[in-house]
Amino acid sequence: MTRKLSFSQAVNEAMKLAMQRDENVILMGEDVAGGAAVDHLQDDEAWGGVMGVTKGLVQQFGRERVIDTPIAEAGYIGASVTAAATGLRPIAELMFNDFIGSCLDEVMNQAAKLRYMFGGKAKVPLTIRTMHGAGFRAAAQHSQSLYALFTHIPGLKVVVPSTPADAKGLLLSAVFDDDPVIFFEDKTLYNVKGEVEDGFYSIPIGKADVKRKGTDLTIVAIGKQVHTALKAAEMLTKKGIEAEVIDPRSLSPLDEETILTSVAKTNRLIVIDEATPRCSAATDISALVADKGFDNLDAPIKMITGPHCPVPFSPVLEDLYLPTPEKVLQAVAEIIGDETIVAV
């Protein structure tokens, strides 16, 4: 049975189910419960995360398993690495992905590499949930989309869901995956609703989803930008252009096959990625196709990304920062060679 849930509720439900299923699953992070050791506070009044995403979990699982941490990302993210390697299955929340600056070592040099450096004699079943994305007027240090950094690092898996249903199924996969997974949640998607199956289900990490079928053009879009792609696709239909929209859902591993198969059919590729453009997921997908899909390409590969600048605070500037359906149409016009598309 499905119900309409917000992205945030879907993520919450996944954590609840994971914690019910396996007592080794614990949750830790800043204010994931909230109000630790405050006598008068009832658990149902506790924050449950800065955005309320973990609300209710402390009530159900107690403070032994839903653990508030000090503002010490290197400390608790690092601790979650060995907690995982010694028998727990932690979900560690890094409130904003921008805070990776305080704990990159623990993620890049410890979590990602332990297994390899130890010759396969360790596993790190750790999930790091983290918020990303622009559009929240949260300025340069709270608006980045840093999944490219993590995708660059072997040993990590990187998941960027775009819908509540995907978020739930992918998070359940992540938690029960035996490798470290970085799970990205776009803060501007939290209130977006969608149909979500109840009960426990999982969506394999590494499997893209074709969010819309089409024949004339492939659009690969990441996270929230899947919705930009779908809007652009709707607009293009009016011009008789059918775009296929692919949501890779995970960047590492990347479902190369689904992308290459689509481009083999459509012969055109646009990638939408709101992150900054250099050494990005956009260039990664583009380069994949420029190599393995080259013979099927009829046009330059266009990337619609954020610009090479920090995310500005001012709403007027931030709105310019993000990809839009109009920018997609502009790119389509260029590769189809039909300027009238822009006016759709």
Could you list the residues that contact its own copies (CB under 8 A)?
74, 98-109, 112-113, 116-117, 139-141, 146, 148-149, 151-155, 251-252, 254, 275-276, 278-284, 286-292, 294-295, 297, 299-303, 307-310, 312-313
Does position 279 interact with other proteins (CB under 8 A)? The reply is no
Does position 99 interact with ligand TPP (CB under 6 A)? The reply is yes
Site for other proteins in 158-187 (CB under 8 A): 177-179
Count of CB atoms situated within 10 Å of the CB of 238: 9
Please answer whether residues 275 and 305 qualify as being in contact, where contact means their C-beta atoms are separated by less than 8 angstroms: yes
Question: Closest distance between ligand TPP and the C-beta of residue 99, in Å?
Answer: 4
Half-sphere exposure (Cβ direction) of 306: Cα atoms closer than 13 Å: 27
Please answer whether residues 251 and 222 qualify as being in contact, where contact means their C-beta atoms are separated by less than 8 angstroms: yes
Does position 95 interact with ligand TPP (CB under 6 A)? The reply is yes
Catalytic residue among 40, 132, 142, 227: 142
Count of all residues that appear for the chain in the document: 344
Please, where are the H alpha helices in 24-102?
57-61, 73-85
Locate the DSSP E strands across the chain. Answer: 2-6, 25-29, 66-68, 89-96, 127-132, 157-159, 181-186, 193-197, 209-212, 217-221, 243-247, 250-252, 269-273, 302-305
Question: Closest distance between its own copies and the C-beta of residue 132, in Å?
Answer: 14
Site for ligand TPP in 54-93 (CB under 6 A): 71, 73
Does position 35 interact with other proteins (CB under 8 A)? The reply is yes
Query: Is 142 labeled as catalytic in the residue annotation?
Result: yes
Locate the DSSP E strands across 23-120. Answer: 25-29, 66-68, 89-96
Which partner from the list ligand TPP, other proteins, its own copies, none does 100 bind, CB cut-off 5 to 8 Å by kind?
its own copies
Does position 131 interact with ligand TPP (CB under 6 A)? The reply is no
| Residue 104 C-alpha from the chain's centroid | 18
The smaller minimum CB distance to its own copies, of residues 113 and 187, is found at 113
Question: Closest distance between ligand TPP and the C-beta of residue 72, in Å?
Answer: 9
Please select the residue that binds other proteins; options are 6, 9, 12, 69, rule is CB under 8 A: 69
The C-alpha atoms of residue 173 and residue 127 are separated, in whole angstroms, by 10
Does position 98 interact with other proteins (CB under 8 A)? The reply is yes
For residue 128, give both structure tokens.
């790091």
Question: Closest distance between its own copies and the C-beta of residue 268, in Å?
Answer: 11
The C-alpha atoms of residue 84 and residue 95 are separated, in whole angstroms, by 19
Which partner from the list its own copies, other proteins, ligand TPP, none does 159 bind, CB cut-off 5 to 8 Å by kind?
none
**Which positions lie near ligand TPP, rule CB under 6 A?**
30, 71, 73, 95, 99, 102
Catalytic residues, by residue number, are: 142
